[in-house]
């Protein structure tokens, strides 16, 4: 008898969640003004500084949630990783943006962004299905994602230009701007006689890249 009662409880709960959870979910959009702990803010700032430990902690705490959400909504493992990592980049951009202020838990923010991103992907793939999963809190992130789309377009422009520039320019520029090597390391790695030679080569490459970049930029 007791068993039976216990079993029927979750069913009731799911009904309850569906009928009562939806309004509270909508309320959740505005109910984001919870006090953010210092620790949370510190992690948020550390993300913007690309600090490995912060990334790891956010990653390990939230990946499961997003993975579950994406896979429950017609996605696979790779989709989950792509969506989560893109959301992390949005978080990173926001952390570096002076105007942005974190007004809710990182978890809520990531979930809202991922949800939006994944819905967009589903729409593009024309297998539009309203997600059934997830009664997590949501906050509106449309504007943030518009910003992200703009930045991402510029990122892709640069990536295309980099793809067109050819070797050794690509590696040289990447070594300097991406991997933050100094000119001496670069000179010895690429076999230039000295740092000045490497520097000259770098600027020649940069000028070509600039041309390619602006050509691409005007195309878009």
Q: Could you list the residues that contact another protein (CB under 8 A)?
A: 10-11, 14-15, 18, 50, 52, 55-56, 59-60, 63-64, 67-68, 71-72, 77, 80-81, 85, 88-89, 92, 96, 132, 151, 154-155, 157-159, 162, 173-174, 177-180, 199-200, 203-204, 206-207, 209-210, 213-214
H/E element holding 24? Answer: helix 22-28
CB of 39 to another protein, least distance (A): 19
Closest separation in Å from C-beta 1 to another protein: 22
Closest to another protein by CB, 33 vs 52, is 52
Shortest Å distance, C-beta 100 to another protein: 16
Write down the least CB distance from residue 75 to another protein, Å.
Answer: 10
Q: Which is nearer to another protein, 69 or 105 (CB)?
A: 69
Nearer to another protein, 120 or 159 (CB): 159
- Nearest of 134, 66, 144 to residue 102 by alpha carbon: 144
Exposed, middle or buried by CB within 10 Å (0-12, 13-18, 19+), for 217?
middle
Q: Indicate the SS3 state at residue 139.
A: coil
Q: Which two tokens stand for residue 10?
A: 């979750």
The length of the chain is 220
Query: With respect to another protein, which residue has the nearer C-beta, 56 or 146?
Result: 56
Q: How far is the C-alpha of 201 from the C-alpha of 190, rounded, in Å?
A: 11
Contact criterion met (CB below 8 Å) for 145 and 87: no
Burial of residue 152 (CB within 10 Å: 0-12, 13-18, 19+) is middle
Closest to another protein by CB, 138 vs 176, is 176
Q: In the complex, what is the shortest distance from the CB of residue 189 to another protein, in angstroms, rounded to a whole number?
A: 17
State in Å, rounded, how far the first CA of the chain is from the last one.
68
The nearer residue to another protein, 32 or 134, going by C-beta atoms, is 134
Q: How far is the CB of 211 from another protein (least distance, A)?
A: 10
Q: How far apart are CA 62 and CA 84, in angstroms?
A: 9
């Amino acid at each position: 008898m007791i068993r039976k009662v216990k079993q029927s409880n979750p069913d009731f709960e799911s009904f309850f969640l569906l009928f009562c959870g939806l309004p509270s979910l909508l309320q959740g959009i505005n109910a984001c003004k919870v006090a953010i702990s210092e620790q949370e803010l510190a992690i948020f700032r550390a993300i913007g500084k690309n600090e490995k430990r912060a990334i790891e902690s956010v990653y390990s705490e939230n990946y499961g949630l997003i993975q579950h959400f994406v896979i429950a909504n017609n996605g696979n493992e790779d989709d989950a990783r792509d969506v989560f990592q893109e959301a992390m980049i949005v978080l990173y951009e926001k952390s570096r943006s002076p105007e942005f202020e974190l007004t809710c838990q990182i978890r809520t923010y990531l979930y809202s962004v991922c949800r939006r991103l994944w819905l967009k992907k589903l729409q593009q793939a024309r297998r539009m299905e309203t997600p059934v999963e997830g009664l997590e809190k949501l906050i509106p992130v449309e504007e943030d994602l518009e910003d992200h789309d703009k930045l991402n377009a510029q990122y892709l422009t640069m990536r295309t230009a980099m793809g067109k520039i050819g070797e050794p320019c690509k590696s040289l520029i990447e070594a300097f701007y991406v991997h933050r090597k100094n000119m001496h390391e670069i000179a010895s790695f690429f076999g230039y006689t000295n740092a000045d030679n490497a520097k000259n080569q770098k600027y020649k490459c940069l000028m070509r890249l600039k041309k390619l970049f602006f050509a691409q930029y005007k195309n878009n």
